[in-house]
Amino acid sequence: GQQLNQSPQSMFIQEGEDVSMNCTSSSIFNTWLWYKQEPGEGPVLLIALYKAGELTSNGRLTAQFGITRKDSFLNISASIPSDVGIYFCAGQLGKGAQKLVFGQGTRLTINP
């Protein structure tokens, strides 16, 4: 089936550093989304991207929808302790198709 390749798998950074993670796919997606998941909770939507080339910000988070529609990145600037968690990219394949395909996740750990 469709797969999203997300990297890196894990990151260990110092508080205040910037973070970058990305996702690639062999399939074209109409929509890319970035979620964050904390222990014992379901994923929470951070940013949604709807157009190829689109660059969207949400506070310290910035994400881009690749021009080929096969990739996306998420940047977090000036990381803080509450940024700790697992970040997932997800894609929606076609218009009207509501199934989401998720990447394997990037586990972010922050040293204070």
Partner 1 sequence: GAGVSQTPSNKVTEKGKYVELRCDPISGHTALYWYRQSLGQGPEFLIYFQGTGAADDSGLPNDRFFAVRPEGSVSTLKIQRTERGDSAVYLCASSLPLAGGGVNEQFFGPGTRLTVL
Q: Which of 11, 63, 74, 90 binds partner 1 (CB under 8 A)?
A: 90
**Which of the stretches 40-48, 55-63, 66-74, 76-84 binds partner 1 when contact is defined by CB under 8 A?**
40-48
Task: Measure CA 12 to chain center.
Answer: 17
* DSSP line for 2-24: --EEEE-SEEEEETT--EEEEEE
44 lies in the site for partner 1, by CB under 8 A = yes
DSSP 54: -
12 lies in the site for partner 1, by CB under 8 A = no
Backbone phi, then psi, for 83, in 5-degree steps? -75, -10
**Where do contacts with partner 1 occur on this chain (CB under 8 A)?**
4, 6, 31, 33, 40-45, 48, 50, 88, 90, 92, 95-105
